[in-house]
Amino acid sequence: MTDAPHHDRPSDEDLVAYLDGELSSDARFRIARAVAEDHELQRRLILLSGGQRPFRDAFAPLLAQAPEDKLKAMLDGLPGPVTPEEAAQPTRHSSNRWKALAAGLALFLAGAGAGWMGSSIVRPALEQPKVATESDDDDWRQSVAAYISLYTSETLASIPDDARAQELEIASVRAKTGLALSPQKLALPDLTLKRAQVLEYDQKPLGQIAYLDPESGPLALCIITGGGPDADKSTEQRLGLNVVYWTKAGRSFMLIGRAAMPRLQNWADEVSGRLSG
Amino acid sequence: MFNCSTRLSLLPREKSRDGMSEPRMIGNGPEEVKAGLAGHLSRLWRYGLVLTGRRDTAEDLVQATCVRALERAHQFEPGTRLDRWLFTILRSIWLNEVRSRRIRTGEGIVDAETFLTFNGAEQIEEGVLLQQVLREMQSLPETQREAIFLVYVEGLAYREAAAVLDIPIGTIMSRLAAARTTLGRLNADAAPLSHWPEAKHP
C-alpha cells in the first residue's frame, strides 16, 4: 500500500493509485475528501480515469497464441532443478550437466546476438573452465542439440538464398576447421543449404551448416576439431532430435534434425563420403 | 460536467492483489520451481513477445528463462510468487544478454507494438480490441508501456512491478500517471463520453 501525502494537494500519481486501489484506506479517505472539495482535482481525476483501457482483455488473445505444447516439450527436456546442496557443492555430474546447458545457452545467445543474417562470427570462449572428462564428447552434442532445438523452419526460411554470401560463409568455416568444404560438397538431396557459420565450443571452433528440409524443418551439420580417434557412425536422440555422429581425422561431426533417422543416415553417409574424399 | 453518474464511475476499485488467490505450494524452492514452471509458459511467452516483438525470440527467451530458473531454483523463496520471479529473470536475460548484443551488432530492435499490430493482432478475431489498444499505446514511451503491461495486463501490484523492473515504486506511479494522462487526453479528444468499457482487474 502506498501513502498519499497528508497536507499537499494529491498529485496525479496519488490519483492514479487511488483509481487503481493501491492506497491504504486512510490515504483513500483523504484523497476522496480532497477531491470532493476541489474542482481542479475532479477534473484531473476524470482525465486520468479516461486513460484507463481494457488492457487485460485486449492482451488476452495473445495467450492463446503461445506455442504451449512446444514450450512444454522444451521444459520436459530440461534436467531437474539444481538443489541447494548441488549449488553449494557441485558434484561432477551436476557440474557437467549444467556446463552443457550453459554452453547451449551461450550458443543461443550468440545466435540471437548475431541475428540470422549469416555473418560468421567467432564467439568468445565460454566462461566455464574446461574440465577434460570422458563425457566431453557428449557435452558438445548436447549443447548443439539445445541450440538446434530452438530452430524452427521460419528461423531459416527468412535467410535469403545468396550463393555468393554462402560461399564466403563456407570459406570461413573451411578456414576455421581446416576441412576442404565447398558448396558442391555440402549440397545434399532434398535439402536447401541456408547458412554456414563459425561458433565456438570450449575454445574450439564449431562449424555449423544449416539446412532446411521442406518435410521436417531445420537440420544442421556440425563440425568440431579435436575430436579424438576415428569412430564409426552412431545414432542417438537428444531433446527430441535425431542425431548421427562420427569422428574422422581428428574432427567430430554430427548431423542433427527432426527428420526420420533413415533419411538422416543417408545424408550423413553422403556428406561423410564427400568430405573424406 | 461533473455529474453524479460520472462520479460513481470514478470510485476506486476494491481489489485484492496480495496473491493469496493463486494456489501455492509450500515446500522447498527447487521443487516448487520445477512444478510451477509449466503453468506459466504462456504468460512468459506473451511477456517475451511484448518485449521483443518477435515470436521466435519470445520462445528462445522462455527457454533461456526456464534454464536459468532451474539453475537458480535454490534462490527462489518458497511461498513467494513464482510468476513474478520468472518475469524478472526473463526481462533480465532480454535486457542484459539478448537486446544489448543486438544493439551492438546493429541489428536493432523491432518495435514490439508495431509488430503485434501488423503481425499478430490481425490474425485473430478478438484482435480488434488489441489493435485499438496497441495503436493508442504507440504514442507512449516504452517504459510507460511496460509499466502498463505489468500492472494492468498482468495484474502486478505497484511494488511487484517495481521489483520486476528494478525501479522505485514512485517511478512506477509516475509512469502510470503520465501514461493515463496521455491516454485520457486521447479519449477526451476522440469522444467526450468514454467509449471504452471499464477495464477488468484481476
Reported as a single tens digit per residue, the pLDDT across B78-137 is 888 999 999 999 999 888 777 666 555 554 444 544 445 434 544 555 567 777 888 888
Same-domain status, A112 and A180: yes
Domain span at residue B165 reads 124-194
* B105 to A17: CB separation less than 8 angstroms, yes or no: no
Closest Cα in chain B, distance from residue A232 (Å): 33
Could you tell me which residue, A127 or B21, shows the higher pLDDT?
B21
Sign of the alpha-carbon torsion through B167, A48, B19, B22 = negative
User: Does any domain span residue A214?
Assistant: yes
Average confidence (pLDDT) over A41-50: 90
Question: Which residue pairs from B135-144 have beta carbons closer than 8 angstroms and sit at least 24 positions apart in sequence?
Answer: B136/A53, B136/B183, B136/B186, B137/B113, B138/B113, B138/B114, B139/B182, B139/B186, B140/B179, B140/B182, B140/B183, B143/B175, B144/B175, B144/B176, B144/B178, B144/B179, B144/B182
So what's the pLDDT on residue B86?
96
Whether residue A84 has pLDDT greater than 70: no
Question: At A227, is the pLDDT very low, low, confident or very high (cuts 50, 70, 90)?
Answer: confident
Whether residue A113 has pLDDT greater than 50: no
User: Does any domain span residue B19?
Assistant: no
For chain B, give the mean pLDDT.
74
So what's the pLDDT on residue B167?
94
B45 part of contact set with chain A, CB < 8 Å: yes
Q: Which among A242, A217, A231, A252 has a CA at the least distance from the CA of A139?
A: A252
So what's the pLDDT on residue A177?
86
Q: Which among A140, A118, A96 has a CA at the least distance from the CA of A243?
A: A140
Residue of A22, A24, A70 to mutate for B, most B C-beta atoms under 10 A:
A22
So what's the pLDDT on residue A126?
29
| CA A17/CA A25 separation, integer angstroms | 12
Strand-pair partners of A247: A231, A252
| CA A251/CA A224 separation, integer angstroms | 6
* A68 to B185: CB separation less than 8 angstroms, yes or no: no
Closest Cα in chain A, distance from residue B35 (Å): 10
pLDDT tens digits along A240-263: 789 999 999 889 999 999 999 999
Could you tell me which residue, A221 or A7, shows the higher pLDDT?
A221
Same-domain status, A73 and A43: no
Domain count across chain B:
2
Q: Which among A275, A274, A268, A239 has a CA at the least distance from the CA of A254?
A: A268
Among all residues of chain B, which has the CA nearest to that of A42? Answer: B2
Same-domain status, A41 and A75: no
Among all residues of chain B, which has the CA nearest to that of A39? Answer: B2
So what's the pLDDT on residue A164?
80
Q: What is the DSSP letter of A216?
A: T
User: Does any domain span residue A54?
Assistant: no
Domain span at residue A23 reads 12-49
So what's the pLDDT on residue A121?
24
User: In the sheet that A241-248 helps form, which strands lie side by side, from edge to edge?
Assistant: A192-201, A204-213, A217-225, A251-257, A241-248, A231-238
Whether residue B15 has pLDDT greater than 50: no
Same-domain status, B106 and B28: yes
Whether residue A8 has pLDDT greater than 80: no
Q: Which among A58, A16, A10, A39 has a CA at the least distance from the CA of B179?
A: A16
Among all residues of chain B, which has the CA nearest to that of A101? Answer: B67
A158 part of contact set with chain B, CB < 8 Å: no
Q: In a 3-state reduction of DSSP, which class is residue A210?
A: strand
Whether residue A147 has pLDDT greater than 90: no
User: Does any domain span residue A7?
Assistant: no
Whether residue A134 has pLDDT greater than 90: no
Contact residues for B187 (Cβ-Cβ < 8 A; gap 6+): A50, A51, B194, B196
Do A199 and A123 touch, CB atoms closer than 8 A?
yes
Same-domain status, B105 and B145: no
So what's the pLDDT on residue B190?
63
Same-domain status, A211 and A79: yes
Q: In a 3-state reduction of DSSP, which class is residue A135?
A: coil
Could you tell me which residue, A137 or B152, shows the higher pLDDT?
B152
Same-domain status, B31 and B106: yes
Max mean pLDDT range (A39-53, A64-78, A136-150, B154-168): B154-168
pLDDT tens digits along A191-204: 999 988 877 777 77
Average confidence (pLDDT) over A206-218: 91
Q: Which residues of B touch A52 (CB under 8 A)?
A: 180, 183, 196, 198-199
A127 part of contact set with chain B, CB < 8 Å: no
Grid cell locating A198: 563459425
Domain boundary (B62, B82, B112) is at B112
Element (H, E) at A255: strand A251-257
Q: In a 3-state reduction of DSSP, which class is residue B128?
A: helix
User: Does any domain span residue B132?
Assistant: yes
Whether residue A186 has pLDDT greater than 90: yes
Average confidence (pLDDT) over B35-51: 92
Other CB atoms within 10 Å distance of the CB of residue B148: 24
So what's the pLDDT on residue B170?
96
User: Does any domain span residue A158?
Assistant: yes
| CA A140/CA A240 separation, integer angstroms | 16
Element (H, E) at A183: helix A183-186
So what's the pLDDT on residue B24?
43
User: Does any domain span residue A60?
Assistant: no
CB nearest B73 (choices: A55, A81, A104) = A81
For chain A, give the mean pLDDT.
78
Same-domain status, A154 and A32: no
User: Does any domain span residue B15?
Assistant: no
Whether residue A120 has pLDDT greater than 70: no
So what's the pLDDT on residue A100?
52
Could you tell me which residue, A234 or A91, shows the higher pLDDT?
A234
CATH code, A118: 3.30.200.100
Which of 108-127 (B) contact A at CB < 8 A?
116, 120-121, 123-124, 126-127
Domain boundary (B84, B112, B140) is at B112
So what's the pLDDT on residue B191?
52
B14 part of contact set with chain A, CB < 8 Å: yes
Whether residue A161 has pLDDT greater than 70: yes
So what's the pLDDT on residue A11?
95
Give the percent of chain B with pLDDT over 70: 65
Q: Residue type for A212, please? A: L
Domain count across chain A:
2
CATH code, B38: 1.10.1740.10
Average confidence (pLDDT) over A162-182: 85
